[in-house]
Structure 1
């Protein structure tokens, strides 16, 4: 029997929370993007440009951000930090990767598209947890301070 997205055990086996699975399924069922719509809470994720249109994700210089991480002493001089950098390096998606994806055989295109959406949803969940962790660091008196995201480097349930 195929697990449903709202079944916690099915969501867990996919590496996402039951709430995320339910939310993505509802959005896709409505014909919307599987990613959540940005809110007005000052969310720092690069989703919209100044004019309210979606920001081109290719404009973010990920190599520069990764090099900055590599130079940070807290990352550079800890085994977890170095593992994080190695983990991120193999998961970078470059614009050239789009060409490879577009050469997917037609009979597998829907499957690859679904995988891309699930990867995006998982990354979005990780990003939200990291942002919450960053906000907790900025406001240490609030609940959840110091809570890190599940699936830290070495977790094979993610991508």
Structure 2
């Protein structure tokens, strides 16, 4: 207070909630001006709700007011959780000056807020779902279709964090499902019945299962010998076209109009023949190297 009275220059304007005329930020400045005999003070009005005014008051106090005690921060977080249940833990934590982990603990003590699993609003203003499984699946499809996308590009499009995208990418490389707890994509579910036998009559138990094509293409895309020359990039683009999921192939097949079915079937078979020829020639070249 004494430092404010002794200040030679004009004091910053105080912030006032217009609907209630309550001072949100600047109570000490107001008292200092009153003690100095001033009848007026510069004011910046806030026209939001009382709930938002409380948030602004806490945020302003954290920025340049007296430090709040841990108990005060906890009570502020509890109130904001009640009035702004859709705000993420990180966003509330940034307002009250505590950790997101602490906010999550307080949220659990407050109890159900009626929002269930509705998406929450993050610090960047973006809305993200609490259930990120759909975002993980979308990120998986984007990574498979365009391995060159950055983590942030995929994160923005899928509505998940870059670290979550990184986890999805690692799961793709390992041939795992993008959602934790799911079974590997493109691999058959484990059964308890008899295992299929190979041509020599040996079962597939204990044999290494080949990863899905999407995973193989992802690994190839990381090979400088392919991605750093034009022909290699052309090959990767061609291979990527064929890494769509089974359900996507079904959707594509069903979309072919009746009057074009035979034509498309002929072209598909021609492409298959061409790929078969490509495979034979590559295998021949490989055998010549051994």
Shorter chain as normaliser: what TM range?
Answer: 0.3 to 0.5
Q: Report the TM-score, using the length of structure 1 for normalisation.
A: 0.44
- Higher Rg of the two aligned structures: 2
Larger RCO, structures 1/2 (Cα 8 Å, 6+ apart): 1
Q: Report the TM-score, using the length of structure 2 for normalisation.
A: 0.26
* Higher strand proportion (structure 1 or 2): 2
